[in-house]
Amino acid sequence: MAFIEINKNNLLHNIDIIQKTSNKEICAVIKDNAYGHGILQIAKILQEVGIKRVCVRNNMEAKLVQPFFEEILVFFPELTYNGMNISYTISDLKSLKKCRHKKIHLKFDTGMHRNALSLENLDEILEMAFKKFEVKGVFSHFCCSDEVGNDTFIQLQRFKELKNKVVEFCKKNNYEIPKFHIANSDAIFKLPKSDLFDYVRPGIALYGGMKNENLKPVMSLWGEAIKVMEIKKNQYVGYNKKYKFEKDTKVTLIDLGYSDGILYFDKELSLKETKAVGKISMDSVSVIGEYKKVCIFDDVREFVKNYPYTITYDILTKLKPNIKRVVV
């Protein structure tokens, strides 16, 4: 049976690098099944090392990890009441008016222009939010922190101005000052150490899926043999006869396909120690050689080179939850 190995030591290594680089508390992003790694498996490890706060996609994920953390920030919440250690992201005025849950984080647009509150309505938003809710945090998101340019620092300046206004408002009205956070994975390594934010929000950095030689990959994906075949010279394998063998070759059929989340290919694909050939099937892949099990990848940063038009996030998050995850 196909399986995913989660390298605990590599995850702990990445956490240590992030903490030393940022000198801030980590609010770990474990949304979308922990970027495909397994939300419960990752949550248990994070709890063991003292991570107290995480970010998830929705209420369902929040419920899964509720026993593990002091605070769980839901990015796309249902707006009904929920548990005491769960906070909701508020990113528009409609949600601010409709929300029935007490603890919130206000998300403001500093340049991403995607899904956040407008700074133009800041006074109205603060009056409404602090009067009605327990505002646990104020945050934003960078649009271009993975690129070289000024956009990140422009957004950082806007965030600084936002923070100053929020702090001034809280002091004037005797409200508790919320926590501030904006630094995602790339920003953690790009920005200088700063008192501007209280948390860092690493996602892909936790899992070693970004271009940083100090980080280690956490996931390896393995398929197991269905059968071994002898393919003769000048024969083909798979749909539409895309791959022709130049000599007699042993080929192993393994139990992973595009239904398991492997991205589509139609001729060949470089793997860790061999290559897959022919069109990928829904439930299987043919690889050159005789194996009992085959490593599809143990570093997604290398594997993504097969696919010039996608990113590591895409490969990791598409892997289906029904593939067994094993912590090693």
Q: Looking at residues 255-281, what average pLDDT do you find?
A: 96
> Residue 123's pLDDT is what?
96
User: pLDDT class for 148, splitting at 50, 70, 90?
Assistant: confident
From 108, 236, 104, select the one nearest 178 (Cα to Cα): 104
Confirm whether 239 is a catalytic residue: yes
Per-residue pLDDT at 266 exceeds 80: yes
Q: For a pLDDT cut of 70, what percent of the chain falls above it?
A: 100
How many CA atoms does the CB half-sphere of 303 hold within 13 Å? 26
Q: What are the boundaries of each domain within the chain? A: 8-200, 219-327
Domains 8-200 and 219-327 are alike in CATH topology: no
Residue-wise pLDDT tens digits, 184-231: 999 999 987 788 999 999 999 999 999 999 999 999 999 999 999 999
Query: What phi and psi, each to the nearest 5 degrees, are found at residue 295?
Result: -85, 115
> Residue 32's pLDDT is what?
98
> Could you tell me which CATH number the domain at 219-327 has?
2.40.37.10
Out of 3.40.50.170, 3.40.50.720, 3.40.50.300, 3.20.20.10, the CATH code matching 8-200 is 3.20.20.10
Confirm whether 31 is a catalytic residue: yes
From 46, 10, 31, 1, select the one nearest 220 (Cα to Cα): 10
> What Å distances lie between residue 225 and 113, 184, 243, 253, 278, CA to CA?
47, 39, 20, 6, 17
Q: How far is residue 277's CA from residue 301's CA, in Å, rounded to a whole number?
A: 21
SS3 55: strand
Catalytic member of 171, 239, 250, 320: 239
Q: Which residues of 134-164 are buried (b: 16+ CB within 10 A; e: fewer)?
A: ebbbbbbbbbbbbeeeeebeebbebbbebbe
> Residue 53's pLDDT is what?
98
Per-residue pLDDT at 326 exceeds 90: yes
Q: What share of the chain is helix, strand, coil (3-state, %, to 5)?
A: 35, 25, 40
User: pLDDT class for 90, splitting at 50, 70, 90?
Assistant: very high
